[in-house]
Amino acid sequence: MIDIGERIKRRRLKLGLTQEELAARTELSKGFISQLERNLTSPSIATLMDILEALGTDISDFFAKAGDEKVVFTPEDMFVSEDAQVASSVCWLVPNAQKNQLEPILVTFAPGGSTYPDDPHEGEEFGYVLQGSVTLRLGSRSFKVKKGESFCFKPTEEHYIVNNTQREARVIWVATPPSF
């Protein structure tokens, strides 16, 4: 049996909302939200739909079983985009990662290859160099990152990666929230 109250509470907390804020968004009382989360009452379909809309989800996602969520991804699930203009390719390691909190990609750089400059944005970015070495540009600063090294930063400045070597380089790059 699905614990509707617990699912509503988890979703509310995930979004950082108080019971009062959810109640205000749905024109319900805080007491009703509290009783609902403790399974002391049940919502009508219309009320449930209003709550789910306020929580940024829909009925099919809300009732999807956790076991239905794909956890392991094979090369067949991944999507590769090559860009000859910047001599690099991007492999999205998790399909539809834009709906997740983070987005992991594998970037392969030909000698002289780079990513496009990315403007400042919210979140954090992390990378790990699997092969070769690259230069991470953050605004006017440059950081050489070699195989086996990682980087992590808040993207408050224009940023990009370039491979200034004569060998191919590969980097696992993770952004939160998704931005690739």
The arithmetic mean of pLDDT across residues 99-109, rounded, is 89
d(CA 141, CA 152): 14
Is there a contact between 68 and 90 (Cβ–Cβ < 8 Å)?
Answer: no
- From the CA atom positions of the chain, what is the Rg in Å? 22
- Residue 63: is its pLDDT beyond 90? no
pLDDT score of 23 more than 90: yes
Q: Check residue 98 and give its pLDDT.
A: 63
Percentage of the chain lying above the pLDDT 90 cut: 68
| pLDDT of res. 87 | 94
Please state the rounded mean pLDDT for residues 126-137. 98
Q: Where are the beta strands (DSSP E) in the chain?
A: 79-83, 88-92, 103-109, 124-131, 133-138, 141-146, 150-153, 159-162, 169-176
> Which residues, in sequence order, are CB contacts of 156 under 8 Å at separation 6+?
120
For all residues of the chain together, what is the average pLDDT? 91
Report the alpha-carbon distance of residue 19 to residue 29 in Å, rounded.
Answer: 9
Q: Which pLDDT score, from 0 to 100, does residue 62 have? A: 85
Query: Could you check whether 4-68 and 75-176 share the same CATH topology?
Result: no
Extents of the domains making up the chain: 4-68, 75-176
| Per-residue pLDDT reduced to its tens digit, 85-97 | 999 999 989 877 6
pTM for the model: 0.63
Report whether 172 contacts 132 (CB < 8 A): no
The architecture (CATH level 2) of 75-176 comes to Sandwich (2.60)
What pLDDT is recorded for position 1? Answer: 65
Architecture of domain 4-68: Orthogonal Bundle (1.10)
**Which of the four pLDDT bands, split at 50, 70 and 90, describes residue 3?**
confident
pLDDT computed for residue 55 by the predictor: 93
